[in-house]
């Protein structure tokens, strides 16, 4: 006679299964995720901003920079900065100033009298932290080596933005409100169709970009913005940020906030060059930041405000590329997005009674 035995679930396994089915399981996972995110957030900003150190400073050179005294001064400057001063020689000061406007160099050294004196033109608008570092270090090195160094800021920051952080703040606002807006659409306007979701993301991006620009320029007077261009950059940034969350929401569902926060905030904002100039960032961040939406937004806005007439296409291509990628992924896999609404069934035609 065959005996059938039924495996009994152990008490520990039963409690684990009950815990997995309870609301305490996702809450516990969120506690652990938030703790890790807090550490990553603090670590990423501390790593990139707490102790900015120059890695490579592109510098224009005019005059007798090949003399022995001038070379000795440049070596002394590199030792004091603990970095490499990449020399770009120019025949005239006008050509060197043009290189500053093109954002190819951060300063211009004109070495005179065989290297006995030097005129240093820094550009606070190119990077306040770099300009401050050069302004402090160059005269100190010159004093030790017998080189008289005169420093002047040929492209200073605007009066309402003495530390050069306002552009970083408005770009940060556009990034964060951009994906927070997409989260709110997913929660409070869940039944939007894919096309409607893209349309409303563009709508709050346009309105939000206008309000940010108007507040900073018209209300506070912190920055004198080229209003239309700055509004366009802010609106495009908000749209990209919102669609990046929407893309991740399509791919990962309720966990979409994790890759969004990681890409846009933990990596993107510290590497954007807004708070700390790219030459002072750790090398990997300085390279990666230019290809991410926050870095592209800061780059475009910075050029629009301080280098009008010298705008580059690259940051707009980066923003447009992320917009195209996120919209395409969302549209192709829109059936996976936790939203939308069913099509209403056609109304049945009323039956007519035969007479």
pLDDT tens per residue across span 6-55:
556 677 777 888 878 888 887 888 788 778 878 887 877 676 666 666 67
Closest CA to 166 of 103, 133, 208, 212: 212
Can you give the C-alpha Rg of the chain in angstroms? 28
Token output for 41: 């957030």
Cα 89 from Cα 110, distance rounded (Å): 10
Question: Which is more confidently placed, 211 or 73?
Answer: 211
Given this model, what pLDDT does residue 28 score?
A: 85
Share of the chain above pLDDT 90, in %: 52
Model confidence pLDDT, tens digit, residues 168-220: 999 999 999 999 999 999 999 999 999 999 999 999 999 999 999 999 999 99
Count Cβ atoms within 10 A of the Cβ of residue 228 and give its class: 0-12 exposed, 13-18 middle, 19 or more buried: exposed
Cα 45 from Cα 51, distance rounded (Å): 10
Token output for 287: 């390279």
Cα 318 from Cα 314, distance rounded (Å): 6
Q: Which range in 4-8, 20-24, 230-234, 257-261 is most confidently predicted, on average pLDDT? A: 230-234
Query: Cα separations (Å) of 80 from 32, 48, 66, 83?
Result: 44, 21, 20, 8
Cα 129 from Cα 195, distance rounded (Å): 44
Q: Report the Cα 27 to chain-centroid distance in Å.
A: 31
**With contact defined as beta carbons under 8 Å apart, do 309 and 227 qualify?**
no
Given this model, what pLDDT does residue 86 score?
A: 84
- Mean per-residue pLDDT for 317-339? 94
Cα 235 from Cα 188, distance rounded (Å): 22
- Mean per-residue pLDDT for 270-281? 80
Torsion angle of alpha carbons 194, 198, 200, 204, nearest 10°? 150
5 band by pLDDT with thresholds 50, 70 and 90: very low
Count Cβ atoms within 10 A of the Cβ of residue 80 and give its class: 0-12 exposed, 13-18 middle, 19 or more buried: middle
Given this model, what pLDDT does residue 355 score?
A: 42
């Amino acid at each position: 006679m065959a005996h059938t035995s039924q495996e009994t679930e152990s008490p520990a396994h039963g409690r684990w299964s009950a815990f997995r089915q309870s609301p305490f399981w996702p809450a516990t996972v969120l506690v652990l995720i938030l703790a890790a995110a807090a550490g990553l957030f603090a670590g990423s900003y501390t790593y990139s901003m707490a102790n900015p150190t120059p890695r490579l400073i592109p510098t224009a050179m005019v005059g007798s920079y090949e003399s022995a005294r001038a070379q000795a001064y440049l070596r002394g400057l590199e030792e004091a900065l603990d970095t490499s001063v990449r020399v770009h020689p120019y025949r005239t000061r006008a050509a060197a100033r043009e290189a500053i406007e093109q954002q190819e160099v951060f300063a211009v050294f004109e070495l005179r009298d065989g290297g006995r004196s030097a005129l240093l033109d820094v550009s606070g608008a190119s990077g306040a932290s770099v300009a401050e570092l050069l302004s402090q270090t160059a005269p100190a090195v010159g004093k030790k080596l017998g080189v008289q160094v005169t420093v002047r800021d040929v492209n200073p920051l605007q009066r309402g933005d003495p530390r050069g952080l306002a552009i970083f703040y408005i770009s940060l606002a556009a990034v964060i409100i951009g994906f927070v807006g997409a989260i709110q659409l997913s929660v409070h306007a869940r039944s939007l169709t894919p096309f409607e979701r893209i349309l409303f993301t563009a709508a709050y991006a346009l309105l939000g970009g206008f309000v940010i620009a108007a507040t900073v320029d018209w209300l506070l007077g912190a920055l004198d913005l080229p209003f239309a261009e700055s509004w366009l950059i802010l609106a495009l940034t908000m749209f990209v940020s919102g669609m990046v969350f929407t893309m991740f929401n399509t791919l990962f569902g309720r966990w979409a906030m994790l890759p969004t926060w990681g890409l846009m905030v933990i990596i993107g904002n510290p590497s954007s060059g807004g708070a700390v100039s790219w030459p002072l960032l750790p090398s990997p961040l300085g390279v990666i930041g230019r290809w991410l939406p926050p870095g592209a937004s800061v780059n475009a806005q910075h050029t629009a405000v301080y280098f009008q007439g010298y705008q580059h296409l690259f940051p707009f291509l980066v923003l447009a590329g992320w917009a195209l990628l996120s919209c395409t992924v969302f549209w192709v896999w829109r059936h996976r997005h936790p939203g939308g609404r069913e099509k209403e069934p056609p109304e049945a035609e009323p039956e007519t009674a035969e007479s």
